[in-house]
Chains A and B, each alone.
Chain A
């Protein structure tokens, strides 16, 4: 059964230097509060896995925490590029990073294979695509029944995954609603899983029987972290902070501006600031 912890302890207990880690959430439910705590704890040498690195990995890469990034779309959604990740790739600032680039279909399949306990994912993909030429982890297998050549990539098996979700109940079951993305697969594929939630409720008696639930025994640690997805959003709680995504484009342009912003908003902040950050984004009555 999961431990109910505060964010500082949950990150300290589950994330170590050199780990392979996924902070997932497909545009929705991105676990920013957990990532900021990891930044404050100064973890290093991480292999960061995420379909869309987004602002959350731009910040971690810019703080020098990553050794390698595995991804399938490195943009600031609706805005443009990820400037800190680019600076690391092109200029090794603040440290050099290795990249392993895939397509969304490949990563989605690889997470699913990880959750299913398989060594690799097999799917119809990458035909005629140059990624197969530059990424040695994209290979092929021949179907033993039809002879069709299919793409194969290694499954994703993180040491630890972090996701955000709407609710946990007192037992530690977790409810994910809205765009569920890759949350379930990221948790089941990992050796350890930390889930931050908007709120902890007594029970899920009012939840539909087919809802997306992670049973308590699949989760290592649960943290109540209201607003913990900001500037991403939590369906039913608060909206995506689009201006923050636009502001990031400016903050991340320059190394000094970035460093100063991270000090003020992350290093000198505490987990409790997230609730205030989403106050103006909560659903209007």
Chain B
């Protein structure tokens, strides 16, 4: 078996969740990696949309910001930001919203606004950006993040984006008709909501990962499905695509003098 890192497993497992006919609203960072790996492997016709208004973009390297020029140059079309949010997101044309999270609870509620009290924060984070309405209007939500006790918490400090609230009726109570979070991809495992509680539980462990490792990196009480699978390891092709993408990205940024 080829060697791979937990980050690579996370990106590749996340990429596999996307289908060729998906229209995906892409968050920057880990979601952007996964979405572009999907496009370069099993989903060549996937429509990737970034909130800067670029629809059907196919960047050769990973963008550093949601508004990089290459997103526009390779897009089918670029629309204004109001049109992006009104016609394309609110209009119900997005099948999957792919988000990262600073703080996440077991119901898929996300905080990227503040740690501590809103008016007297311990840490002021950047805030929601497009996420509150992506979480509301996308057909379903995938979330990808590295596991840590600081990130995966019992109770989030601020509801930036609503997941399932506190249970299976949470979305209905707020008049939401979309599915909300249906999939969580971490560096340790794959998680799906338990239909009875709407709380994420582990359905698949990545190769070599133990249940204790999942518990040790998650602050909520981890539940496991009755039948927990082992995530298929990355194929040679998936790894090559991911590594080439990172290499191209690094080289492109070196060209513009970027020290990272």
Interface residues, chain A, CB within 8 Å of chain B?
Answer: 26-28, 51-52, 71-75, 77-78, 81-82, 86, 89-90, 101, 103-105, 108-109, 111-112, 123-131, 134, 148-149, 178-182, 184-185, 212, 233, 235, 239-243, 246, 280-281
Contact = CB atoms under 8 A, between A and B. Distances in A.
B80 A77 contact: no
Interface stretch (B39-47, B116-124, B196-204, B206-214): B116-124
Nearest to B164: A128
B127 A74 contact: yes
Nearest to A89: B124
Contacts of B247: none
A105 to B, nearest CB: 4
28 contacts: A26-B52, A26-B81, A28-B69, A28-B72, A75-B126, A77-B67, A103-B131, A104-B81, A108-B81, A108-B84, A109-B85, A124-B90, A125-B136, A128-B170, A129-B128, A130-B113, A130-B118, A130-B160, A134-B118, A180-B53, A180-B78, A182-B80, A240-B68, A242-B256, A243-B256, A243-B258, A243-B259, A281-B256
Nearest to B92: A124
Contact of B80 (A101, A103, A129, A185): A185
A127 B136 CA distance: 7
Contact of A127 (B52, B67, B158, B175): B175
Contacts, number: 175
B78 A179 contact: yes
Interface string B236-254: 0000000000000000010
Contacts of B81: 26, 51, 104, 108, 181-182
Contacts of A246: 258-260
B260 A72 contact: no
A83 to B, nearest CB: 10
Nearest to A25: B67
Interface in B148-192: 158-162, 165, 170-171, 174-176
Contacts of A126: 132-133
Contacts of B54: 179
B222 interface: no
A48 B119 CA distance: 20
B89 A134 contact: no
A127 B171 CA distance: 9
Contacts of A240: 64-65, 68-69, 256
A205 B137 CA distance: 41
B66 interface: yes
B257 interface: yes
Contacts of B160: 129-131
A241 B84 CA distance: 26
A230 to B, nearest CB: 13
Contact of A181 (B67, B131, B137, B259): B67
Contact of A130 (B67, B159, B256, B257): B159
B142 to A, nearest CB: 18
Given A27-B52, A123-B90, A180-B53, A90 B124 contact: yes
Contacts of A78: 28, 64-65
Nearest to B122: A90
A239 B257 contact: no
A128 B174 contact: yes
Given A75-B126, A105-B130, A239 B256 contact: yes
Q: Which of A73, A101, A105 has most B Cβ within 10 Å?
A: A105
B125 interface: yes
A268 B77 CA distance: 42
B232 interface: no
Contacts of B78: 178-180
A105 B52 contact: no
B37 to A, nearest CB: 19
A242 B63 CA distance: 11
A28 B72 CA distance: 11
A111 B82 contact: yes
B90 A105 contact: yes
Contact of A103 (B130, B174, B258): B130
B132 A73 contact: no
Contacts of B256: 239-243, 281
A109 B137 CA distance: 15
Interface string B58-77: 00000011111101100000
